[in-house]
Structure 1
Amino acid sequence: MSSKNVAHDDELTIVGGVYHEHCLHPGYRNFYGSAGRAASALAHLAVPVLLHTYANDRNAQLIRERAHFDKFKVDIQKSDRPIFFQYDHGLAEPRIYGLPDKPSPELNVRATNVLRYGMLEGTAVVNAEFAVYDPQNVSAPESFHANGSTAKHLALVLNNYEASTLSEKRGLPAAEQAIELSRQNNAQVIIIKQGPAGALVYDNGKISTVPAYETERVFKIGSGDVFAAYFSNAWMIEKLSAHEAANKASRATAYYCENNHFPSPDLLKEFTPAAITLSETFIADGQRSVYLAGPFFSLAQLWLIEQARRNLTDLGLKVFSPYHDVGHGSADDVVQKDLDGIRNADIIFAVGDGLDSGTIYEVGFACANNIPVIFYSENESAEDKKMMEGSGCILCDDYVTAIYKTLWVVSQK
């Protein structure tokens, strides 16, 4: 067991993992993890930060160098090996390498203000006046108190899956989930992130929502880490209400997603993204349908179609895919079924690279029927995309951005 330093009352103590992150496309290599990203993000706001984490000797030196340049303090407990997250793209489930054979000795942290992330090497037992907890676990999130952690004032920052898993009340509306989680965890604040719907905020019995914000581009890796970090600073250090803190965190996260770096206080003040306003029809019936247009005649093409179908479905969209729902066949077998799929769709997601003739026809048919089109193409010239641009298609040269634009457009339609 390790006894850790006591932080100052005006300091924000961050506890969590610092990991290597590699993304195949777009090419990205960095050394952040949840806690490392949060420490650098808040240091850019001139917040006094103390980071507690695990690292082997080589990575410990990297963390100390980052702390020196970003101006935060660190306390590192030795671990055996580095951990790597490998992404194919920003929405892909990462492959994780270097997981420990057994848990490292627990971290023990006593401080006034603590942001605790779930981590892979071990656990952190926290004793705090104020604490924010983000479990960061896609399979079996652990409750804040399960390892003996305590806090006089506790906020949980969760996604929908974590909320339903921790409450063990699957199927409940988010507001009821929040009430149940508050009761079970003796937590004053519950934040449940809800994609384009923003976030539900439970604060001592009062429920409100804050919006998500639309951006020109979306860099997704680490966005959840950033939300928890900015919320923690606003709620614990700036003493804003949970609603105000969540809204500030949502805006700061939008800045990070659009720019892939951390804003200074002045940049954050100047950043005024548009809030995503859900349409009444989307709120009423929830699900929207997307027609997935694109070639599927080679391994590479099929791989991309599979990825897009999975990522769109994960965002709650109902996907009609000609490959999956109709298949190969003669013109008599497939054309009318494909065209019916377009007629019944709320939006088209088109893979444009290669300028496949069938895909281009589907885009034109959708435009003629006043169905919005997201046209994802990285390698085609402006000249080749002129007709799509001139007919009102939304052009995207980044895959993750194209997926999110699809959701944002259809949720406001």
Structure 2
Amino acid sequence: MSSSHQNAPHLAMEILLAPYASRGSQSRGRLVPEGESATRSVFQRDRDRIIHSSAFRRLKHKTQVFVYHEGDHFRTRLTHSIEVSQIARALARSLRLNEDLAEALALAHDLGHPPFGHAGETALDQAMAPYEGFDHNAQTLRLVTSLERRYAAFDGLNLCWETLEGLAKHNGPLVESPIDPAHPPAALPFGFRDYLPVQDLELHSWPGAEAQVAAIADDVAYNNHDIDDGLRAGLFSLDDLAAVPFVAESLHEIDKAYPDHPQSVRIHELVRRLIGRMTDDILAESQARIAALDPASVEDIRAAGHAVIGFSDEMQQAVNGLRAFLFHNMYRHRSVRRTTSKAKRVVRDLFDLYMSEPELLPAEWARRAHGPNSTETARAVADFIGGMTDRFALRDHEKLFTISAIHI
């Protein structure tokens, strides 16, 4: 189904897009039909709904590596998402793709993350193993289609099909061949299986190029900004980073051009140069892939059988080397492991308590529970914990597990 209304300025802007870009005027529409805005395209409206959602605001106090109280300058999920959106917009503009759709996907891609980053997701997924597990990408879909309840006419945000498709499979197809939406395979994470009977997102195909741009912008942002945060936290030094060939070249250029500048400036120069080198490589490689495919429409992108947006083989090897360095020197650092160990215990403690005593849940969540240790209670508990910020989870844990007069 196509959008019911598009104003003339946005139709004029679509003329500038590449033939294979997503167009709001050709959107498959929203699950619940709405009259569209006279001043905003359908994808701009999706972006605005994401920004105004409760889940987006909660990203302010959800972290990636460091817990919220460890420092004011470390990235949170919110600042990370804003940085991803900047890179995604720049790439989309250079490739003549739909910037508004790329931005919406970049801003929403982390909405489903629970507190404490990947440590929190690991703990919640393990706790939910008997109840179909927990997956942050599937949880993002649940949030924007169901759990956000701010509109009178529908649950969720009622986003366009293209936005939902991009959120579901921005990292690539989730299944190898078309499936019956009424009977999705058990291997799919719960959030996808629960939604597919409502709306088929064609999980067997690649997403549009805008979703692929948002996904690779995420890679660029978190790799480079983890360098910044890791250096700021003292987990490794610039001398340590010099052992990574991809980084060493930029460090040499900086030291030669600015030998007397303080380390803070050298770090910023390093990060901005690495981001620039990565994005330049993405543009060159993606333009070459698109030229070889010669797509005439967004459907040609979906049917390509491979990503059209990506790193060159040489850059991918360099990025893999950087990831290996960060894994050993940052994510597996003793201080980070101690913090993530505590975070996992907090999540598991909360899950186990709410599962055995669901009456302790807030009223709106307790109403969804069907007694202790039931599947319905498990999903309600996972949704509740998954929406927590780091600081809310820590405070909730303290209130429930610290025996003192102030918390009774």
Report the TM-score range of the alignment, normalised by the length of the smaller protein.
under 0.3
Higher share in helix = 2
TM-score by length of structure 1 reads: 0.25
TM-score by length of structure 2 reads: 0.25
Higher share in strand = 1
